[in-house]
Amino acid sequence: MKDKVSDTRKYFNYSVTLIGLLLIIGSLYTFIYDYISMENSIYISSKVTSIDVNSNAADVKYTVNNKEYESKIPNTNDYAVNDKVMIRVSIKNPLKHVNKHLYISVPALIIGILLLVITLKKSLEYLKKAKNIRNLRLTGIYVQATITEIFVNSLGKKYKNYFPYKLRAKYLNPADNNIYTFDSEDTFINLSDILGKYGTKWVVVYIDKTNPNNYYVDLNSLIPHVDLIDPIEFMKIKPVTEGQNTDSENNNEGMTNDNQTSVDSDKENVEQTSK
Please tell me the least confidently modeled range out of 41-55, 126-140, 216-230. 216-230
User: Which pLDDT belongs to residue 26?
Assistant: 96
Q: Which domain holds residue 170?
A: 140-222
Look up the CATH number of the domain holding residue 38.
Answer: 2.40.50
Residue of 123, 99, 100, 113 lying closest to 25 (CA atoms): 113
Binning pLDDT at 50, 70 and 90, where does residue 263 land?
Answer: very low
User: Which pLDDT belongs to residue 248?
Assistant: 46
Together in a domain, 164 and 211: yes
Residue of 110, 108, 56, 109 lying closest to 78 (CA atoms): 56
CB 145 within 8 A of CB 203: yes
Tell me the CA distances in angstroms from 53 to 58, 62, 72, 74, 75, one per residue in order.
Answer: 8, 21, 12, 11, 9
Residue 133 CB partners (closer than 8 Å, separation 6+) = 206, 216
SS3 labels along 13-50: HHHHHHHHHHHHHHHHHHHHHHHHHHHCEEEEEEEEEE
What is the tens place of the pLDDT at every residue in 179-188? 999 999 999 9
Binning pLDDT at 50, 70 and 90, where does residue 17 land?
Answer: very high
* Bigger pLDDT: 236 vs 92: 92
Together in a domain, 98 and 9: yes
CB 52 within 8 A of CB 59: yes
What is the tens place of the pLDDT at every residue in 180-236? 999 999 999 999 998 988 888 999 999 999 999 999 999 999 988 655 555 665 566
User: Which pLDDT belongs to residue 175?
Assistant: 85
What sign does the CA torsion over 261, 267, 271, 274 have?
A: positive
Residue 218 CB partners (closer than 8 Å, separation 6+) = 142, 203, 204, 205, 206
Q: What proportion of the chain, given as a percentage, has pLDDT over 90?
A: 62
Please tell me the least confidently modeled range out of 15-19, 183-187, 241-245. 241-245
Instruction: Give Cα 73 distance to the centre of its chain.
Output: 47
Tell which of 188, 206, 222 closes a domain.
Answer: 222
Tell which of 203, 222, 241 closes a domain.
Answer: 222
Together in a domain, 31 and 97: yes
Q: What is the distance between the alpha carbons of residues 37 and 29, in angstroms, rounded to a whole number? A: 12
Q: What angle do CA 202, 206, 209 make, to 5 degrees?
A: 135
Q: What is the distance between the alpha carbons of residues 100 and 37, in angstroms, rounded to a whole number? A: 9
Tell which of 54, 83, 104 closes a domain.
Answer: 104
pLDDT of residue 160 exceeding 90: no
